[in-house]
Homo-oligomer: A and B are copies of this chain.
């Protein structure tokens, strides 16, 4: 039995609210249960120096948590003067995942910066961030289309992400913090709308896992992502 009494393949309540911030070209408040992330997409007519003059654009991501998004207060990274290893890992993952789904040539020599700020954390902040970031990105692309800044299709496919894990010996979908902190194994899957894999990260928290266990997690993730992609379609539809 899961602490939340969910079925093994059951997502938490997911919501994807668009247009939540006044200034950004795209934004989304994404909730996976009690995990709440505010995502904005900022379009800028500039590029990192190493990319200039190559005829393509760039998407990058930054991630942060409000200090009291967590059970105990976490030190503010702006005040400690550096981003933690965990933060760096997550924002690199978000950026890579989104870039794979985009036609950077079609974007033109522009940069989109996706900011994912966790207002409240209850497990799965990186998967919620990616799922919501796709919505903010889609809105930013629509904003550009409405201004005739781009012509061809820039977004190749949906991108969504979900965690799975082995909890009490059984594979379960979309771990909340109670499950995450005691799971034997934990994996994050980033996938496209057509079910292919963009990124997979599996970690044995306590004991190594078998290939079969891994395949069971992958099957769950496939289901979960399909559901998230449906929700994204409804949100931007």
Interface residues of A (CB under 8 A from B): 21-24, 27, 34, 38, 40, 42, 44, 62, 64, 66-73, 76-79, 81-83, 85, 87-89, 91-92, 96, 100, 113, 115, 117, 119-120, 122, 157, 187, 191-192, 194-204, 206-211, 214, 218, 222
The answer for the CA separation of A195 and B113 in the assembled complex, in Å, is 41
- Contacts A62-B79, A68-B23, A68-B40 given: A197-B192 contact, CB under 8 Å? no
A92 touches B82 (CB 8 A): no
By a CB distance below 8 angstroms, the chain B residues around A24 are 68
B42 touches A67 (CB 8 A): yes
B78 touches A83 (CB 8 A): yes
A56 to chain B: closest CB distance in Å? 13
By a CB distance below 8 angstroms, the chain B residues around A22 are 34, 120, 122
Q: Can you identify 20 A-B contacts, CB atoms within 8 angstroms?
A: A21-B69, A23-B70, A23-B71, A24-B68, A40-B68, A44-B73, A64-B66, A64-B78, A66-B117, A67-B113, A68-B115, A73-B113, A73-B115, A76-B78, A78-B83, A85-B88, A89-B89, A198-B204, A198-B208, A199-B201
A38 touches B66 (CB 8 A): yes
A18 to chain B: closest CB distance in Å? 14
B68 touches A42 (CB 8 A): yes
Most B-side CB within 10 Å, residue of A79, A81, A194: A79
A119 touches B196 (CB 8 A): no
Most B-side CB within 10 Å, residue of A23, A92, A222: A23
- Contacts A191-B208, A218-B211 given: A81-B79 contact, CB under 8 Å? no
Those 4 A-B pairs whose CB atoms lie nearest each other, nearest first: A77-B78, A196-B208, A40-B68, A85-B88
The answer for the CA separation of A208 and B107 in the assembled complex, in Å, is 19
B96 touches A85 (CB 8 A): no
Given contacts A68-B115, A81-B81, 9 further A-B contacts (CB under 8 A): A42-B68, A67-B113, A88-B88, A195-B211, A197-B210, A198-B208, A200-B214, A211-B218, A214-B218
Contact check: which of B40, B192, B203 meets A66 at CB < 8 Å?
A: B40
B199 touches A96 (CB 8 A): no
